[in-house]
Amino acid sequence: MKLKELTKLTSSINVLYIEDDKNLRTQNCELFKNLFDNIDSADDGEEALQLYKKNNYELVITDINIPLINGIEVIKSMKKTNPTQAFLITTVFQKSEWEKELKELEIDDYLTKPLQTTTLLKTIEKIIKRQESKVSA
């Protein structure tokens, strides 16, 4: 899918991006601003949960290893509020290290860092389309 087509799909989407690496967060937020209607970012789990309480997000993109409250605990908390929340995990950990918990949490997708922009965009497209089909079903 071309970027222009992806933007049509994602332009009305609100996203929460949780990443403790300031450079990576800044870089990806610049990319996300071109895709999404609204992008909020947090650098730790506590800040992320505060934002989540105040706003509605169609997609949450989070690292697992974040300060104060790790990504898995953040997801568990958010799932209590919204069991159908879409999540994309981005982490340096291999999936096998977290596979059981991620499966139980029904995580939409998982990417290992360093992120490839093309793979990231394709994965976001897949998640958004999956969410749309759940809503229309």
Question: What CATH number does the domain located at 3-116 have?
Answer: 3.40.50.2300
DSSP-based three-state secondary structure for 18:
strand
Q: What is the CA radius of gyration of the chain?
A: 14
Report pLDDT for 110: 85
| E strand or H helix that includes residue 7 | helix 3-10
Report pLDDT for 4: 75
Sign of CA dihedral 84, 135, 5, 109: positive
Q: Which residues contact 89 (CB under 8 A, 6 or more apart)?
A: 62, 63, 64, 71, 98, 102, 107, 109, 110, 111
Question: What is the rounded average pLDDT for all residues in the chain?
Answer: 87
Report pLDDT for 75: 94
Residues 43-69 have pLDDT tens digits of: 999 999 999 999 999 999 999 999 999
Residues 71-117 have pLDDT tens digits of: 999 999 999 999 999 999 998 876 666 777 877 888 878 888 888 88
DSSP-based three-state secondary structure for 43:
coil
